[in-house]
Amino acid sequence: MVLITSSLALAACGNLQSSGLGSTSTTKSKSSVTTTGQASDGEYQGVIKKGKYLTSKSRGVSQSQDDNTYNLKSFENGLLSISKKEFATNKYVFQEGQYLKKATTQNWLARQSKSNPTGLNPKDNGEKSETKRNPIYLQQLEEQDYMTQSGSKLSLSGMTIGLGLNQIDYYEKEQYGATYETKISEATRVAEGKKMANEVVKRMRKKSGVGKVPIVIALYKQATNDSLVGGTFFAYGVSKNGSNSITEWHNVDQKNYILPAVNNAKTGSGKASESFSNFKTQVQNFFPNLSGVTAQTQYNSGTLSGMKVSITTQFYSQTEITSFTQFVATEAQKYLPTGVPVEITISSTSGVQAFVARESGEKSYYTHVFGSY
Site for a second copy in 4-63 (CB under 8 A): 4-6, 8-10, 12-16, 22-23, 27, 36-40, 43, 45-46, 48, 51-53, 55-56, 59-60, 62-63
CA angle 93, 219, 217 (to 5 degrees): 45
Determine if 171 is a binding residue for a second copy (CB under 8 A): no
Question: Taking a C-beta distance cutoff of 8 angstroms, is the pair 232, 299 a contact?
Answer: no
Where does residue 68 rank: exposed (0-12), middle (13-18), buried (19+ CB within 10 A)?
buried
Site residues for a second copy, window 343-362 (CB under 8 A)? Answer: 343, 345, 351-352, 355, 357, 362
Paired residues of 352 in beta bridges: 347
Determine if 104 is a binding residue for a second copy (CB under 8 A): no
Contacting a second copy (CB under 8 A), which of 72, 156, 190, 340? Answer: 72
Site residues for a second copy, window 119-158 (CB under 8 A)? Answer: 142, 144
Angstrom CA distances, 333 to 54, 316, 320, 366, stand at: 40, 25, 20, 11
Contacting a second copy (CB under 8 A), which of 155, 285, 301, 303? Answer: 285
Q: Where are the alpha helices (DSSP H) in 298-364?
A: 318-335
Minimum distance of a second copy from residue 240's CB (angstroms): 24
Contacting a second copy (CB under 8 A), which of 244, 327, 340, 360? Answer: 327
For 352, list phi and psi in degrees, rounded to 5. Answer: -70, 125
Determine if 316 is a binding residue for a second copy (CB under 8 A): yes
Minimum distance of a second copy from residue 176's CB (angstroms): 25
Site residues for a second copy, window 287-306 (CB under 8 A)? Answer: 287-288, 296-298, 306
Question: Which CB, 66 or 192, lies closer to a second copy?
Answer: 66
Which helix (H) or strand (E) segment holds residue 107: the answer is: helix 102-109
| Strand spans (E) along 260-302 | 292-300
Cα–Cα distance for residue pair 326/174, rounded to 1 Å: 53
Angstrom CA distances, 347 to 269, 289, 312, 321, stand at: 27, 14, 5, 9
Under rule CB under 8 A, how many of the chain's residues touch a second copy? 92
Contacting a second copy (CB under 8 A), which of 89, 121, 182, 325? Answer: 325
Question: Which CB, 204 or 229, lies closer to a second copy?
Answer: 229
Which helix (H) or strand (E) segment holds residue 343: the answer is: strand 342-348
Minimum distance of a second copy from residue 285's CB (angstroms): 5
Determine if 68 is a binding residue for a second copy (CB under 8 A): no
Site residues for a second copy, window 216-275 (CB under 8 A)? Answer: 229-230, 256
Binding mask 74-103 for a second copy (x = CB under 8 A): x-xx--x-------------x-x-------
Q: Read out DSSP for 151-173? A: TTEEEEEEEEEEEEE-SEEEEES
Question: Which CB, 61 or 213, lies closer to a second copy?
Answer: 61
